[in-house]
């Protein structure tokens, strides 16, 4: 397990919003199935004393921590206040923040991630589906029915494409140790390198699938940083330059970050790169 | 969103960066009335967002007698295919040296990346490849509200100290305007002090609202229409329409089309919560493009209801065939609804894409 396990207590910020309330229920349904603690408290300023999906709501993370034991937060608050929510979690001493919120201004993310780092708090996301360690803990919005417990780590900048590939792995009998959606924004907290470092210390993980896309060079930096066996898929080989492909971070800028050059650089490091998502299970089977 | 040169210069000037005296005109007839404050010789600069504007004929020298005629010629031109609607008239500067300064969001360090070089007026990407040592760099966490002096000294090296405040003010522009990039190329020195001879400013699309910008000009009309519905939409050149949920899955669908030697007409990510209404709008939007001959819908999700999606596709009532791959709750019901109405539902994205490529061949 990386980042957390069934004993991890979770606080959800933006708990009384539609998304927050909906996903608290799903996270705790999964926690009940696997015998985990799940979400112990929700936070929504001014809504303290209410409860959402059977979870007590507090006015602040510090308030919540006075009565509940937690080490991680999941942020569902709207984009304009999400950077603030990440900093609140770091300031309160939590060691992990998973920021689901999309459309956070990038300067807010940069500030919040820098601040979290000063407080030794890891940020996953923003604009991500969170993480899932099958059979242990779900901290985010990933559907659980496609996953199965096993030895393959998955790191991805995407959401639904991750579910697609996890489904293919499961069908091929390749269970997953932890699936981490690191987010589709240009600036994100935990990168491929950071997650790979955690997987290196994880006895359960034998190989890692790296799901990248156009924009930046985090995939190559990640591949260069690890000795773990990895297989990659890079989305966006057909993406035109200077166009944002759905994710704020999925853009080829100034002739950099296109899929072909990423794939070439990965192959030069002897990382096998799948041409189709469905080719990944066969590549992984060769690696382990 | 990219700002035009004159818009960026107005913002730079607000933060204390010296910019040349100038005025913007929208027709040649406006020119005589706008040059009174300028010296007899001036520059006409087409306000178009293209790289290599000078070499493409977008920057012309003029004087009081030739100004209106030359402006007329410039308004009649296409600069790299872009029509000229606005011209910036500026005083000519007595340039002694050209520098380059920029501040950008750096994905890898998660900080502001400041670049400075005394080889200004060049294409910075070319310089980075050919002579990377000529570029001085510094990274600044956004928690700092100004550039520390040691960092400015390191950046400038032997360049004149008077450029320090310009870079400091450029950081104020970067921070106050939610910039992805704030660039001065060239940053020039003259006997009258330094000037931003050109200016580039790109604002974060996710911050347009708080920057008081109501419309993203970088989008086409159909892209803007898509944005209203909460879709991400990009127009492409092929004939296969694509609708997916999630940026990565939609991109992977486009890539599969290319893998099977087809050509996608668009990228449309419906985002989260693909319900009947949203799917209907998405299908109609894609079908409205006359080059679209067939549409692939590829939706995958834990909470997406396939029967809702199927009803959405049918209620769009379009003429092109739709090939559907759906995975989620009520899959069987969705299949029945589609089968009963003559639509094809496939089990995998590969099959759906292959069927679409065959359909246009």
Q: Are residues B250 and B347 in the same domain?
A: yes
The answer to whether A69 touches A94, Cβ cutoff 8 Å, is no
Look up the domain containing A219 and give its range.
Answer: 145-287
**pLDDT at residue B343, as a whole number:** 87
Q: Which domain holds residue B197?
A: 97-207
Q: Are residues B235 and B347 in the same domain?
A: yes
| Most A-contacting residue of B216, B252, B327 (CB-CB within 10 A), to test interface | B252
Instruction: State the ipTM, two decimals.
Output: 0.95
pLDDT digits (tens, 9 = 90+) for A137-158: 999 999 999 999 999 999 999 9
A152 and A86 part of one domain? no
The chain B residue lying nearest A143, using CA atoms, is B302
Total number of domains in chain A? 2
Final residue belonging to a domain, choices B163, B179, B207: B207
Yes or no, beta carbons of A235 and B349 under 8 Å apart: no
CB within 8 Å: B251 and A162:
no
* Confidence (pLDDT) at B121: 76
Q: Domain of B82: which CATH number? A: 3.30.1490.20
**Residue spans of chain B under pLDDT 50:** none
Chain A residues within an 8 Å CB radius of B205: 244, 248
Q: Is residue B189 in some structural domain?
A: yes
Tens-digit pLDDT profile for residues A95-107: 999 999 999 999 9
Q: CA–CA separation, B233 vs B216, rounded Å? A: 13
Contact between B258 and A237 using a beta-carbon 8 Å cutoff:
yes
Q: Domain check: are B73 and B101 in the same one? A: no
Output b/e per residue, B122-158; b: 16+ Cβ within 10 A. Answer: bebeebeeeeeeebbebebbbeeeebeeebbeebbee
Instruction: Specify whether A150 is located in the same domain as A271.
Output: yes
Residue B1 resides in a domain: no
Say whether both B243 and B309 belong to one domain.
yes
* Closest CA of chain A from B253, distance in Å: 9
In this predicted model, what pLDDT tens digit does every residue of B184-232 receive, in sequence order? 999 999 999 999 999 999 999 999 999 999 989 888 888 888 988 989 9
Whether A162 and A280 map to the same domain: the answer is yes
- What CATH code is carried by the domain that includes residue B310? 3.40.50.261
Q: Quote the number of domains for chain B.
A: 3
B297 plus B344 within the same structural domain: yes
State whether B173 and B194 are in the same domain.
Answer: yes
CATH of the domain at B138: 3.30.470.20
Active site includes A247? yes
Q: What is the CATH number of the domain that holds A104?
A: 3.40.50.720
pLDDT in tens, A174-190: 999 999 999 999 999 99
- Is B11 a domain residue? no
In the predicted structure, residue A264 carries a pLDDT above the cut 80:
yes
Residue of B123, B205, B244, B251 to mutate, testing the A interface (most A Cβ within 10 Å of its Cβ): B251
Cβ contacts of A10 within 8 Å, gap of 6 or more:
A4, A27, A37, A38, A39, A40, A70, A72, A73, A74, A139
Question: How close does chain B come to A67, measured CA to CA in Å?
Answer: 32
CA-atom Rg of chain B in angstroms: 26
Q: Are residues B243 and B226 in the same domain?
A: yes
- Inter-chain CB proximity A110 and B234 less than 8 Å: no
Domain contains A134: no
Rounded Cα distance, B284 and B216, in Å: 23
Residue A113 near residue A190, CB atoms below 8 Å: no
Q: Just list the catalytic residues of B.
A: 100, 183
Cβ contact, residue pair B259, A142, below 8 Å: no
| H-helix segments, chain A | 18-34, 61-67, 79-91, 106-118, 160-171, 192-200, 218-224, 259-268, 280-287
Q: Examine residue B6 and state whether it is found in any structural domain, yes or no.
A: no
Tell which phi-psi region holds residue A120, choosing left (phi > 0), alpha (psi between -120 and 50) or beta: left
**What pLDDT, on the 0 to 100 scale, is given for residue B119?**
87
pLDDT beyond 70 at A35: yes
Residues A245 and A120 in one domain: no
Nearest CA distance, B300 vs chain A (angstrom): 6
Among the listed residues A118, A121, A140, the one whose alpha carbon sits nearest the alpha carbon of residue A129: A140
Which residue among A156, A189, A245 places its CB closest to the CB of B251?
Answer: A245
Question: Cβ of B348 and A111 within 8 Å?
Answer: no
Check whether A32 has a pLDDT greater than 80.
yes
Place of tokens 């996710």: B206
Q: Is residue A160 included in any domain, yes or no?
A: yes
| B129 vs A: CB within 8 A | no
| Co-location of B112 and B75 in the same domain | no
Last residue of a domain, one of B44, B76, B91: B91
How sure is the predictor about A203, in pLDDT bands with cuts at 50, 70 and 90? Answer: very high
User: How confident is the model over A75-102, as a mean pLDDT?
Assistant: 97
- Confidence at residue A142, expressed as pLDDT on a 0 to 100 scale: 94
Q: For residue A131, is it within any domain?
A: no
């Amino acid at each position: 397990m990386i980042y957390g396990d069934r004993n991890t207590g979770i606080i959800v910020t933006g708990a009384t919003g539609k998304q927050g309330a909906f996903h608290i229920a799903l996270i705790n349904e999964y926690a009940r199935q696997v015998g985990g603690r799940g979400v112990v408290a929700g936070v929504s300023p001014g809504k303290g004393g209410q409860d959402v999906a059977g979870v007590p709501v507090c006015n602040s993370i510090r308030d919540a921590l006075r009565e509940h034991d937690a080490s991680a937060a999941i942020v569902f608050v709207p984009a304009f206040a999400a950077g603030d929510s990440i900093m609140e979690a770091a300031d309160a001493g939590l060691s992990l923040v998973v920021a689901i919120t999309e459309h956070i201004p990038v300067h807010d993310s940069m500030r919040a991630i820098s601040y979290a780092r000063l407080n030794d708090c890891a940020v996953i996301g923003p604009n991500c589906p969170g993480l899932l360690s099958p059979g242990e803990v779900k901290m985010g919005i990933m559907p659980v029915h496609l996953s199965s417990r096993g030895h393959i780590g998955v790191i991805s900048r995407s959401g639904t494409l991750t579910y697609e590939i996890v489904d293919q792995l499961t069908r091929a009998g390749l269970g997953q140790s932890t699936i981490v959606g690191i987010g589709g924004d240009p600036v994100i907290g935990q990168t491929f390198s950071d997650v790979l470092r955690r997987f290196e210390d994880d006895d359960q993980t034998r190989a890692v699938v790296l799901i990248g896309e156009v924009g930046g060079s985090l995939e190559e930096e990640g591949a260069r940083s690890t000795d773990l066996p990895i297989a990659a898929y890079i989305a966006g080989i057909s993406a035109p330059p200077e166009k944002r492909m759905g994710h704020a971070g999925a853009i080829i800028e100034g002739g950099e970050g296109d899929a072909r050059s990423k794939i070439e650089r990965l192959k030069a490091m002897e990382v096998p790169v799948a041409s189709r998502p469905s080719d990944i299970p066969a590549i992984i089977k060769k690696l382990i | 969103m990219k700002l035009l040169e004159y818009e960026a210069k107005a913002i730079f000037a607000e933060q204390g960066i010296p910019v040349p005296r100038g005025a913007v005109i929208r027709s040649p007839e406006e020119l005589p009335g706008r040059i009174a404050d300028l010296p007899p010789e001036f520059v006409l600069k087409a306000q178009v967002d293209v790289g290599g504007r000078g070499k493409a004929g977008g920057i012309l020298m003029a004087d009081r007698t030739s100004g209106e005629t030359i402006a007329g010629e410039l308004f009649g031109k296409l600069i790299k295919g872009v029509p000229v609607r606005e011209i910036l008239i500026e005083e000519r500067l007595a340039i002694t040296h050209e520098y380059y300064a920029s501040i950008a969001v750096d994905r890898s360090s998660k900080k502001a990346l400041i670049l400075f070089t005394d080889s200004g007026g060049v294409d910075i990407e070319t310089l980075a490849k050919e002579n990377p040592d000529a570029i001085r760099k510094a990274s600044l966490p956004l928690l700092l509200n100004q550039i520390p002096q040691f960092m400015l000294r390191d950046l400038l090296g032997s360049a004149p100290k008077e450029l320090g405040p310009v870079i400091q003010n450029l950081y104020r522009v970067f921070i106050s305007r939610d910039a992805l990039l704030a660039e001065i190329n060239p940053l020039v020195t003259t006997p009258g002090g330094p000037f931003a001879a050109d200016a580039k400013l790109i604002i974060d699309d996710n911050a347009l609202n708080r920057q008081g910008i109501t419309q993203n000009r970088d989008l086409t009309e159909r892209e803007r229409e898509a944005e209203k519905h909460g879709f991400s939409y990009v127009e492409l050149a092929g004939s296969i329409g694509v609708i997916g949920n999630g940026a990565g899955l939609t991109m992977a669908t486009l890539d599969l089309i290319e893998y099977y030697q087809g050509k996608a007409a668009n990228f449309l990510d419906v985002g989260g919560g693909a319900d009947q209404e949203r799917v209907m709008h998405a299908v109609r939007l894609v079908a409205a493009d006359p080059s679209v001959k067939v549409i692939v819908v590829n939706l995958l999700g834990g909470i997406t209801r396939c029967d809702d999606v199927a009803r959405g596709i049918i209620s769009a009532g379009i003429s092109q065939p739709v090939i559907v791959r759906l995975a989620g709750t009520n899959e069987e019901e969705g299949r029945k609804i589609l089968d009963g109405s003559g639509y094809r539902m496939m089990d995998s994205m590969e099959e759906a894409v292959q069927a679409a490529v065959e359909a246009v061949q």
